[in-house]
């Protein structure tokens, strides 16, 4: 039986550092924008979630490598994610909602995690989303296309206000690239 030679610890550490350095460099390359897609990036006359192309007002996290995410070095908000196009911000919200439906299951539990009391009027938010979607607050949800559509529209209405919530076309543009 042949023995496998292990790479010495020092060489492994150097190799890992190089890989991390390259990953950081690549992550700072801005994605290409499609001129045919909607974008409000940087339009200061719009609500924060709109001008960030982030209608769910998702907080910035270096761990989330969202498709279409504005690299950290170019993010002008600092607290919230920014996306190069509206559809990418919607896509990130849909992915998060799928995860939350699996983890938390009901509107009440999802919104309690998504919009905690220290930042929102959570009870009002829960009632509004339940009323708009037609789902009882404690009903177990499944992540069907229709459930995601209803939830994303109701949540964006709470996050960015009337007039900026998702249209069905916005939802479909994002759903196609999930």
DSSP state, residue 82: -
95-148 pLDDT, tens digit per residue, is: 999 999 999 999 999 999 999 999 899 999 999 999 999 999 999 999 999 999
The pLDDT score that the predictor gives to residue 49 is 96
Q: Is residue 10 part of a domain?
A: no
Q: Is residue 17 part of a domain?
A: no
The pLDDT score that the predictor gives to residue 123 is 96
Q: Is residue 152 part of a domain?
A: yes
Report d(CA 72, CA 30) in Å as an integer: 10
Q: Is residue 131 part of a domain?
A: yes
Q: Is residue 12 part of a domain?
A: no
pLDDT: which is higher, 27 or 100: 100
Q: Is residue 8 part of a domain?
A: no
Residue 95, C-beta contacts closer than 8 angstroms, at least 6 positions apart: 66, 178
Is the pLDDT score of 27 beyond 90?
Answer: no
- Supply the range of the domain harboring residue 141: 37-176
The pLDDT score that the predictor gives to residue 17 is 75
The pLDDT score that the predictor gives to residue 15 is 75
Report d(CA 95, CA 13) in Å as an integer: 34
Buried residues in 89-99 as b, exposed as e (16+ CB within 10 A) = bbbbbbbbbee
Q: Is residue 45 part of a domain?
A: yes
Report d(CA 2, CA 23) in Å as an integer: 34
Report d(CA 133, CA 87) in Å as an integer: 21
CB 58 within 8 A of CB 92: yes
First to last CA, the chain: 47
Q: How many domains does the chain have?
A: 1
pTM of the model: 0.82
Q: Is residue 146 part of a domain?
A: yes
């Amino acid at each position: 039986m042949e023995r496998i030679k292990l790479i010495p610890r020092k060489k492994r550490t150097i190799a890992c550092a190089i890989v991390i350095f390259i990953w950081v460099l690549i992550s700072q390359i801005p994605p290409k924008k499609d001129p045919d897609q909607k974008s409000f990036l940087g339009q200061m006359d719009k609500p924060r979630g709109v001008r960030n192309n982030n209608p769910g007002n998702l907080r910035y996290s270096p761990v989330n490598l969202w498709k279409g995410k504005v690299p950290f070095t170019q993010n002008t908000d600092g607290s919230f994610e920014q996306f190069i196009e509206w559809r990418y911000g919607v896509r990130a919200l849909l992915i998060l909602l799928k995860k939350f439906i699996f983890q938390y299951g009901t509107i009440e539990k999802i919104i309690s995690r998504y919009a905690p009391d220290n930042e929102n009027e959570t009870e009002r938010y829960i009632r509004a989303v339940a009323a708009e979607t037609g789902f009882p607050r404690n009903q177990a949800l499944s992540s069907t296309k229709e459930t995601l559509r209803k939830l994303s529209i109701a949540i964006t209405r709470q996050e960015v206000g009337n007039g900026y919530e998702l249209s069905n076309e916005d939802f479909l543009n994002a759903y196609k690239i999930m």
